[in-house]
């Protein structure tokens, strides 16, 4: 992996435009909606916890994709 790739992955990528901030908010909102649905629909247990963690990971990666885009 090139040093630039490492730098890019670990650098802070501020949302500088309203459009980008709105996109981040949209990703968070939709992931929250799904997490709420899983929480209300599924019985407590390991599987439910893993499902919510997976949604959280999807939110992080979705927002990382937005933040890292040039």
Is the predicted pLDDT of residue 12 greater than 80, yes or no? no
> Which sequence spans correspond to the domains of the chain?
16-68
CB-CB neighbours of 62 under 10 Å: 17
16, pLDDT greater than 90: no
pTM: 0.81
CA 1 – CA 24 distance, rounded (Å): 27
- Tens digits of per-residue pLDDT, 17-64? 888 889 999 999 999 999 999 999 999 999 999 999 999 999 999 999
pLDDT at 70 over 70: no
């Amino acid at each position: 992996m090139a040093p630039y790739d490492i730098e890019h992955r670990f650098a802070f990528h501020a949302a500088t435009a309203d459009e980008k901030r709105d996109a981040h908010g949209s990703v968070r909102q939709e992931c929250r909606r799904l997490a709420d649905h899983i929480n209300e629909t599924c019985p407590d247990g390991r599987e439910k916890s893993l499902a919510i963690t997976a949604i959280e990971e999807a939110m992080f990666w979705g927002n990382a994709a937005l933040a890292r885009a040039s």
